[in-house]
Structure 1
Amino acid sequence: MEDRPLAELFEPATRERWRQAIEAALKGADFEKRLVSKTADGLRIEPFYEPAASVAQPVRAPGPWRLAQRIDHPDAEKAGAQALADLEGGADALVLVHCDARAARGFGLEFPSVDALDAALTGVMLPLIALRLDAGPAGFETAALLKQLIERRGDDPSALDLDLGLDPIGTRAATGRLDQGWEARLSEIVTAFAGYRGRAALADARPYHEAGASEVQELAAVLATAVAYLRALEAGGHDLALARDQIAVLLVADADEFLTIAKFRAIRRLWARVEQACGLEPKPLRVLAETAWRMMSRRDPFVNILRTTMASASAGLGGADSVTALPYTLALGLPDAFARRVVRNSQIVLIEESNLAKVSDPAAGAGGFEALTTELTEKAWAAFQEIEREGGIAASLESGAFAGRIAAVAQARARAVATRKEPLTGASEFPFLAEKPVTVLDVAPNPAASSEGALPSQRLAEPYEALRDASDAVRERTGKRPAVFLANLGPVAVHNARSTFAANAFAAGGIEAIGNDGFSDMQALADAFKASGARIACLCSSDTVYQTEAVPAAEALKAAGAGTIYLAGKPAEAEALRQAGVEGFLFAGCDLLALLREAAERAKG
Structure 2
Amino acid sequence: MTSAPDPDLSFMSAFPAPTQEAWRAAVDKVLKGGDFEKRLVAKTADGIRVEPLYLAASPPARPLRAQAGRWQVTARLDHPEPAEAQKLALADLEGGANALTIAFAGAHAARGYGLVAKDVAALDAALDGAMLDLIQLRLDPAPEGRINALLLAALVEMRGLSPEALSLDFGMDPIGVFAGTGGLAASWAEVGRRLAATIRALKARGFNGPFVTVDTRPWHEAGASEAQELGYGVASAIAYLRALEAAGFSLEEARDAISFTLVADTDEFLTIAKLRAARLIWARIQRACGLTPAPMVLHAETAWRSLTRRDPWVNLLRGTIATFSAGIGGADSITVQPFTAALGLSDAFARRIARNTQLVLLEEANLWRVADPAAGSGSFETLTQALCEQGWAQMQAVERQAKDGLPGILAALTAGTAQTALEHQRDAHARAIATRREPITGTSEFPNLREAAVAVLDVAPVTIGTPTGRTGTAPDPDALIARLAAGAERQEGLIAPQDGLRAKALPSQRLAEPFETLRDRADAAAVKPVVFLATLGPVADFTARAGFARNLFEAGGLAAPVGDGFAQDGGTDLAALTAAFTASGARLACLCGADAAYAAEGVPAAQALTAAGATVWLAGRPGELEEALNNAGVRSFIYAGCDVLDALRRAHDAT
Please say whether Structure 1 and Structure 2 have the same fold, judged by a TM-score greater than 0.5.
yes
Displacement of 1:10 in angstroms is 1.6
TM-score scaled to structure 1, two decimals?
0.97
Displacement of 1:405 in angstroms is 0.6
SS at the partner of 1:202?
Answer: strand
Matched residue, 1:552: 604
Partners of 2:416 and 2:504 within 8 A in 1: no
Matched residue, 1:375: 386
CA separation in 2, counterparts of 1:429 and 1:149? Answer: 49
Q: Is it true that 1:49 corresponds to 2:65 in the alignment?
A: no
Matched residue, 1:40: 45
Partners of 1:558 and 1:581 within 8 A in 2: yes
Displacement of 1:452 in angstroms is 7.5
Q: Please list the CA deviations of residues 369-401 of structure 1 after superposition, one character each: whole Å capped at 9, or x if unmatched.
A: 111000000011011000000011011111001
Displacement of 1:17 in angstroms is 1.2
CA separation in 2, counterparts of 1:285 and 1:102? Answer: 23
Matched residue, 2:514: 463
Percent of aligned pairs with the same residue? Answer: 56
1:401 partner letter: T
Partners of 2:104 and 2:110 within 8 A in 1: yes
Q: Please list the CA deviations of residues 385-444 of structure 1 after superposition, one character each: whole Å capped at 9, or x if unmatched.
A: 000000110111110011111110100000110000110011100000000100111112
Matched residue, 2:415: 399
1:128 partner letter: L
Displacement of 1:227 in angstroms is 0.8
SS at the partner of 2:210?
Answer: strand
Displacement of 1:4 in angstroms is 8.2
Q: Please list the CA deviations of residues 226-248 of structure 1 after superposition, one character each: whole Å capped at 9, or x if unmatched.
A: 11111111111011111111101
Partners of 1:168 and 1:179 within 8 A in 2: no
* Alpha-carbon spacing, 1:11–1:513, altered in 2? closer, same or farther (3 Å): same
CA separation in 1, counterparts of 2:226 and 2:308? Answer: 21
Q: Is it true that 1:193 corresponds to 2:193 in the alignment?
A: no
Alignment of 1:180-329 (within 5 A): 180=186, 181-194=190-203, 195-329=206-340
Matched residue, 1:436: 452
Partners of 2:260 and 2:299 within 8 A in 1: yes
Displacement of 1:514 in angstroms is 3.0
2:574 partner letter: M
Partners of 1:135 and 1:142 within 8 A in 2: no
Matched residue, 2:365: 354
Matched residue, 2:24: 19
Q: Is it true that 1:178 corresponds to 2:184 in the alignment?
A: yes
CA separation in 1, counterparts of 2:34 and 2:599? Answer: 26
CA separation in 2, counterparts of 1:102 and 1:600? Answer: 34
* Alpha-carbon spacing, 1:286–1:226, altered in 2? closer, same or farther (3 Å): same
Displacement of 1:602 in angstroms is 1.0
SS at the partner of 1:382?
Answer: helix
2:276 partner letter: R
Matched residue, 1:421: 437
Matched residue, 2:122: 116
SS at the partner of 2:359?
Answer: helix
1:44 partner letter: R
* Alpha-carbon spacing, 1:448–1:254, altered in 2? closer, same or farther (3 Å): farther
Q: Is it true that 1:364 corresponds to 2:411 in the alignment?
A: no
**Number of aligned residues:** 596
Matched residue, 2:538: 491
Displacement of 1:547 in angstroms is 1.1
RMSD: 1.4
Displacement of 1:135 in angstroms is 4.2
Q: Please list the CA deviations of residues 126-176 of structure 1 after superposition, one character each: whole Å capped at 9, or x if unmatched.
A: 111111111410110010111111111111111111111110000011000
CA separation in 2, counterparts of 1:494 and 1:186? Answer: 69
SS at the partner of 2:212?
Answer: strand
2:622 partner letter: P
* Alpha-carbon spacing, 1:424–1:4, altered in 2? closer, same or farther (3 Å): closer
Q: Is it true that 1:542 corresponds to 2:594 in the alignment?
A: yes
1:295 partner letter: S
Q: Is it true that 1:505 corresponds to 2:552 in the alignment?
A: yes
Partner residue of 1:335 out of 341, 346, 353: 346
Partner residue of 1:572 out of 623, 636, 641: 623
Matched residue, 2:569: none
SS at the partner of 1:289?
Answer: strand
1:503 partner letter: R
CA separation in 2, counterparts of 1:298 and 1:229? Answer: 37
SS at the partner of 2:582?
Answer: helix
Q: Between the two structures, name the one with larger relative contact order (CA 8 Å, sep ≥ 6).
A: 2
Report runs of 4+ in structure 1 exceeding 6 Å deviation.
448-452
Alignment of 1:579-590 (within 5 A): 579-590=631-642
1:570 partner letter: R
Matched residue, 1:595: 647
Displacement of 1:456 in angstroms is 0.6
